[in-house]
Each structure stands twice: as C-alpha cells, then as structure tokens.
C-alpha cells in the first residue's frame, strides 16, 4: 500500500484557521502527534470555532486528518464530536457490540462503490464510526501471530472483536484489534479489563510549545492558551517544565 506523507510546509493552514486552528496551534502539538498527522492519522479531539449563517461564532470539538486531493494538494477532513453514533446500517447485534466498544467485522462500501469487508469500531471520543479494510490489519495480525505463536483459533477471537490475554514472563499481557492504533493492534500489560480501559491517548496536563500551551482539563478536554494569555500559574508550570527538560538532558 502506498504510504501517504504530508510535509509541514504544504499543510492547508488557511483552511485550518477557518476552523479556529492556527498554524501556531498546530506546530505546538507534541512531536508524536505531528508525526501521526504527517502520515494521515487522525488528530486528538481539539477545540474548533466556526461562524454560522448569522455570523455567530460556534464552538465545538473535532478530530481532523490530512488527505491528498486528486491534484496532489493537501486538504483536511474534520470528524466532529457527535451526540450519538450513526449505526442504522448495522444489525441489532452488531450495534450492541459497537456500543460496548468492540471491533466488529462488517460489509462496507468503498468510496468508489466497491463492497468489501472491514473492521468497524466507534471512536469513543467523537462517536464517529471508524472503519479499516480487513487487508490493512490482516498483515499486521499475521506478523504478530507468527511472533507470538498464536493459533488460528486465537486469531479468530481477536477478529471477532475480543481481546486475547496470555502470560508472558509470568505477567498477563492482552492484545486485540483497536482502530485507535496506527497499526490496528494494541498491546496492554494486564488483563482484558485493563486493555478495554486504555482507549484514550494520554496527555500531560500542560504541553508547552513555541507559541503557547495545550492544556488538558479534568474531563480530558484539550484547549490552547497562547503565550500572551498565560496566567501566573502557567508561567510557573512552564518554568518547571523547562527545568525538567534541562535535567533530563543532563542525565542522558
């Protein structure tokens, strides 16, 4: 499969700014997030602002991902937070599995109208329905199965949306299909319960960049504070962060 790569200088910053996401805000995201975005992966759930037909500013939250247009230019697609997932095309049993957070194997239609099998899962942070063609994850499953010496029955368990727990070096390890991961597979030190709980990407409360700070509240929501709006608390946190980074550098 052809790899998609987006360079920073070609990103559609003008379009992003129309949704309240400035170039400074994007560049201040953590490096591992920027790396994922450069490969076409979804962003974390971020605050956006748009103007409605009456000129009022509406605030919302959304993921986004960069895509390549037919003319080769980079564009952006948004995946806003929905009140509930749209699951009408799935059976009652499939809907039940999806709402419980599981991955299901279902028939889907590609953008060019072809029917195909895909793994489907609800993004718990946006309620958007995610789908990935089975072929994309199948290769990763095969490599993992060979490495861990898993049986066909164990692989089938994962294909049916259930995580698989086994013992490695006297400790429980759980693995399963998760469309939140870039390779479609997530490992977890612990049992299936712990695996199911680890769906949200971890962020520090304060993530300082060159122009401002991404701050996470008690509910896990991210908001951006430009440097000119820093409070005394934020200035103090920035000093602590700089000292920690300096200490880490000295101990390398």
**Tens of pLDDT, residues 113-150:** 778 888 999 988 899 998 888 887 888 888 888 888 88
Question: What pTM did the predictor assign?
Answer: 0.75
pLDDT in tens, 182-208: 778 888 888 888 887 765 556 788 999
For 64-68, what is the mean pLDDT?
93
The pLDDT > 90 percentage for the chain reads 38
Contact 38, 59 (CB under 8 A): no
When mean pLDDT is compared across 57-61, 64-68, 108-112, the lowest value belongs to: 108-112
Decide: 74 and 68 in contact? Cβ < 8 Å: yes
Beta strands 104-109 and 74-80, pairing class: unpaired
The residue to which tokens 């049992």 are assigned: 191
Distance, CA of 76 to CA of 98 (rounded, Å)? 27
Strand partners, 187: 175
């Amino acid at each position: 499969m052809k790899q998609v790569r987006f360079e920073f200088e070609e990103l559609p910053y003008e379009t992003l700014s129309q949704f309240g996401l400035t170039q400074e805000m994007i560049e201040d995201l953590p490096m591992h997030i920027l790396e994922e975005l450069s490969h076409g992966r979804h962003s974390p759930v971020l605050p956006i602002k748009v103007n409605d037909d009456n000129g009022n500013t509406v605030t919302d939250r959304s993921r986004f991902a960069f895509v390549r247009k037919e003319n080769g230019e980079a564009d952006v697609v948004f995946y806003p937070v929905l009140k509930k997932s749209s699951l009408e095309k799935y059976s009652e049993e499939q809907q039940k599995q999806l709402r419980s957070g599981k991955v299901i194997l279902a028939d889907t239609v590609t953008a060019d109208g072809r029917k195909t099998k895909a793994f489907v899962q609800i993004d718990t942070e946006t309620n958007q329905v995610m789908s990935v063609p089975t072929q994309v994850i199948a290769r990763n499953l095969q490599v993992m199965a060979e490495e861990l010496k898993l049986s066909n029955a164990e692989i089938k368990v994962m294909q049916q949306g259930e995580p698989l727990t086994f013992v490695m070096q006297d400790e429980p390890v759980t693995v399963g299909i998760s469309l939140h991961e870039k390779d479609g597979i997530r490992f977890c030190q612990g049992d299936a319960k712990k695996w199911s709980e680890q769906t949200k990407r971890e962020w520090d409360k304060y993530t300082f960049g060159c122009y401002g700070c991404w701050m996470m509240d008690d509910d896990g929501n991210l908001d951006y504070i430009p440097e000119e709006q820093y409070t005394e608390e934020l200035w103090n946190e920035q000093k602590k962060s700089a000292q920690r980074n300096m200490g880490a550098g000295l101990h390398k």
